[in-house]
Amino acid sequence: MNFIPILILFALILITTPNVYAQEEFDEEYVEFILNHIDSINELLEQTDEEYSNGNKDLAMKYATTAYLEHYEYIESELGQYNEELIEEVEWAMREELRGMIKDEAPAPDVSEKIDEIKGNLQNIAAIVPEFGTVAMMVLSIAILSIVAITAKSKISIRV
């Protein structure tokens, strides 16, 4: 009897199982919570850009600080497990670079460019937010199809 297909199946299950458990942390409400924070950050960054371009540096600083402290801080620790480097890059850009540029009264086009960079990275972050239902169903489907294929190919019969 050839046990290689069965061993491969068990290896696949072991590899994918931790991912399913990690996905359970993100139910639909939590995914919505994260995406709402990302939307709020984007809106505040747009306001930051507009106010800074209009010469309202204090208001721009307020919006940039609010975006970071009241929104980004709430989601960064959870998302760090999926792409720690990107999460830290956005944190540094929001906390240090953007606020530093506003404080140092950098040219408005430079501030706009930094804001666009942050918003682009926020889109990347939104893309990594796991959707538990979709991922779980994909893993389950692959596992079932693998079992059926291996069983049919190796002519293993399941007796009750």
CA distance 138 to 18: 14
Would you say the C-alpha torsion 118, 119, 120, 124 has a positive or negative sign?
positive
Q: pTM, whole model, 2 decimals?
A: 0.66
Q: Give residues with Cβ within 8 angstroms of 132, minimum separation 6.
A: 23, 24, 26, 27, 28, 31
* DSSP state at residue 159: -
pLDDT in tens, 11-54: 555 555 444 444 445 567 888 888 899 999 999 999 999 999 99
Percent of the chain at pLDDT > 70 equals 64
